[in-house]
């Protein structure tokens, strides 16, 4: 990773042009050991987005609005239960608010048919049944109320349609075809819905100060800087700063608290900038799957259930990245070993001098799942904190499935038809100012970096870090969050 060099009125040191990060192997092994003991090794979500080149330059703003086009083929969600009734009776369907796009459109029109699952029909009915939308009105809650007639009402050839078991609220139902009578006009056109997404920025900072004379005893030889030296304090502070950014990108929450403001050095007060991270977006919009706490994630069974979720959301991407915490990763490995032991015909799992299984991907339900254990969910210094051998937080048992795809936004800030990955880092870089990653130094009167003008009168110097970025997401309704049940 390279961090932008500092500008004009602040003179850069030899490692500022551009700054070589500790994450790019600048520091020698003795320093790495200390850093990893304190801050933890492993691939983080932030590092994954960088290594996969999922970084996008964006303009600065207090927020970015994007308009994401929805699927032209959509199921519907109902807000209230469909009550039981008589054989051949009409039903009332009330649409849920989730069916409506930003402009108030929903996917149902007059004379569409809705498919009611067989499980809500009498025992003698083995197939799902169609009900046609014959009228619509607006209910008190401003969501459309549909009156639907059963296509098979009289039971001429087979048992008449009937809701014998209540269809629960929040159920998803499929739309069927749209039949018409002879001599009639055309159906109303359908609007492909658009959903507005609002992204909020993060503004993160870190500071490190080194007192004079301490500097001379606190430097290490750098691995790639021709025998020059690098500050241990600088390395530690950057590790802290990188961890800040990773936690923000992982679990950041939008600041909607009017009291979270700070006084500006230039007058007035400004809102503290905190946006939504990956987990927050997933909790808000992604599909949810909960696996059993006692049995753990069972590959042969839980994947079959997830298949239904993916199919219901129209996921066509052949490759899905599954970001997992270490505990969920262990459950997957153990379950896979059990599966191999039962069905492999006797393999000893020995490769060379090693015994075991190293999983990196699954071929299942017609898709490839890349298993990506991320240190973000498991670092023992924060999200993976342990207390009495139990995790304090849920992240080590968490997983998020994200299809490898791109999403075209009808509008993204001031751009039209702008394409972003399903998950990306949006670094503020606009109008000649790159605020994605900034490092600056404020030097006092000391013997380090001779010939550089003094900027303040304290014996020592300060390092300042700043990062202004957004976490960008698209197609989140096709993500799947896998969580362990609470009990």
What is the DSSP annotation of 201-246? -EEEEEEEEEETTTGGGSEEEBTTTTT-EEEHHHHHHHHHHHHHHH
Q: How confident is the model at residue 302 (pLDDT cuts 50, 70, 90)?
A: confident
CB 452 within 8 A of CB 472: no
Q: What is the mean pLDDT of residues 282-306?
A: 88
Q: What is the mean pLDDT of residues 356-381?
A: 77
Q: How confident is the model at residue 252 (pLDDT cuts 50, 70, 90)?
A: very high
pLDDT given for residue 45 in this prediction: 87
Is residue 146 a part of any domain in this protein? yes
Q: Is the model's pLDDT at 2 over the cut of 50?
A: no
Length of the chain equals 487
Is residue 117 a part of any domain in this protein? yes
What letters, b where the CB count within 10 A reaches 16 and e where it falls short, cover 141-156?
eebbbbebbbebeeee
Q: Could you tell me what percent of the chain has a pLDDT over 90?
A: 31
CB 316 within 8 A of CB 374: no
Residue 431, Cβ density class (10 Å: 0-12 exposed, 13-18 middle, ≥19 buried): exposed
pLDDT tens-place string over residues 164-219: 999 999 998 988 889 999 999 888 887 666 777 899 999 999 887 776 665 555 55
| Helix (H) and strand (E) counts in the chain | 6, 32
Residues 40, 47: Cα–Cα separation, whole Å: 13
Q: Which residue(s) pair with 312 in the sheet? A: none
pLDDT given for residue 358 in this prediction: 54
Domain count, the chain: 1
CB 143 within 8 A of CB 97: yes
Is residue 140 a part of any domain in this protein? yes
Residue 80 is part of which domain span? Answer: 73-191
**Best-predicted range by mean pLDDT among 13-27, 188-202, 258-272, 302-316?**
258-272
CB 139 within 8 A of CB 145: yes
Is residue 132 a part of any domain in this protein? yes
What is the β-pairing status of strands 91-94 and 113-116? Answer: unpaired
Q: Is the model's pLDDT at 354 over the cut of 60?
A: no
Q: Is the model's pLDDT at 260 over the cut of 50?
A: yes
Q: What is the DSSP letter of 27?
A: B
Is residue 99 a part of any domain in this protein? yes
Q: Which residue(s) pair with 196 in the sheet? A: 67
Q: What is the DSSP letter of 361?
A: E
Of 3, 13, 4, 71, the C-alpha closest to 452 is: 13
pLDDT given for residue 61 in this prediction: 86
pLDDT tens-place string over residues 433-485: 888 888 777 776 665 555 556 666 677 777 788 899 999 999 898 999 999 99
Is residue 386 a part of any domain in this protein? no
Residues 371, 377: Cα–Cα separation, whole Å: 14
Q: What is the DSSP letter of 473?
A: E
Q: Is the model's pLDDT at 41 over the cut of 60?
A: no
Q: What is the mean pLDDT of residues 289-298?
A: 90
The region of weakest confidence among 7-11, 94-98, 197-201 is 7-11
Q: Is the model's pLDDT at 369 over the cut of 50?
A: yes
Is residue 182 a part of any domain in this protein? yes
Is residue 237 a part of any domain in this protein? no
């Amino acid at each position: 990773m390279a961090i932008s060099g500092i500008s004009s009125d602040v003179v850069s040191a030899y490692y500022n042009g551009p700054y070589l990060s500790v994450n790019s192997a600048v520091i020698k092994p003795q320093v790495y050991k200390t850093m990893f003991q304190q801050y933890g090794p492993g691939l983080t979500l932030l590092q994954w987005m960088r290594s996969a080149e999922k970084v996008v330059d964006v303009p600065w703003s207090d927020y970015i609005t994007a308009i994401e086009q929805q699927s032209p083929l959509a199921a519907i969600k109902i807000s209230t239960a469909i009550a039981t009734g008589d054989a051949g009776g009409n039903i009332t369907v009330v649409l849920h608010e989730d069916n409506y796009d930003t402009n108030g459109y929903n996917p149902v029109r007059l004379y569409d048919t809705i498919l009611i699952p067989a499980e809500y029909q009498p025992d003698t009915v083995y197939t799902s049944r169609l009900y046609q939308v014959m009228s619509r009105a607006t209910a008190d809650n401003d969501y459309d109320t549909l009156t639907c007639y059963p296509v098979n009402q009289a039971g001429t050839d087979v048992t008449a349609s009937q809701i014998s078991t209540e269809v629960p609220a929040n159920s998803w139902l499929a739309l069927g075809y749209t039949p018409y009578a002879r001599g009639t006009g055309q159906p109303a056109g359908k609007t492909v819905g658009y959903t507005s997404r609002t992204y909020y920025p993060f503004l993160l900072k870190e500071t490190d100060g080194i007192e004079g004379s301490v500097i001379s005893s606190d430097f290490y030889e750098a691995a790639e800087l021709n025998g020059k030296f690098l500050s241990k304090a600088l390395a530690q502070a950057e590790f802290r700063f990188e961890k800040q950014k990773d936690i923000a990108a992982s679990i950041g929450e939008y600041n909607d608290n009017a009291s979270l403001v700070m006084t500006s050095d230039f007058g007035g007060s400004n809102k503290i900038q905190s946006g939504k991270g990956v987990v927050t977006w997933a909790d808000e919009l992604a599909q949810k799957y909960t696996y059993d706490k006692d049995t753990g994630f069972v590959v042969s069974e839980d994947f079959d259930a997830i298949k239904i979720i993916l199919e219901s959301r129209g996921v066509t991407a052949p490759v899905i990245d599954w970001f997992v915490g270490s505990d969920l990763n262990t459950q997957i490995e153990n379950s896979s070993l059990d599966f191999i032991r039962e069905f492999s015909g006797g393999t000893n799992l020995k490769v060379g001098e090693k015994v075991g299984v190293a999983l990196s991907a699954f071929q299942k339900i017609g898709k490839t799942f890349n298993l990506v254990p991320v240190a973000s969910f498991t670092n023992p210094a924060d999200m993976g904190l342990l207390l009495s051998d139990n995790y304090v937080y849920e992240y080590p048992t968490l997983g998020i499935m994200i299809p490898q795809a791109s999403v075209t936004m009808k509008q993204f800030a001031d751009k039209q038809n702008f394409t972003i990955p399903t998950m990306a880092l949006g670094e503020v870089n606009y109008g000649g100012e790159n605020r994605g990653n900034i490092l600056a130094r404020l030097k006092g009167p000391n013997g380090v970096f001779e010939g550089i003008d003094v900027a303040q009168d304290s014996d020592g110097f300060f390092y300042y870090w700043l990062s202004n970025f957004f976490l960008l997401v698209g197609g989140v309704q096709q993500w799947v969050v896998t969580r362990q049940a609470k009990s």
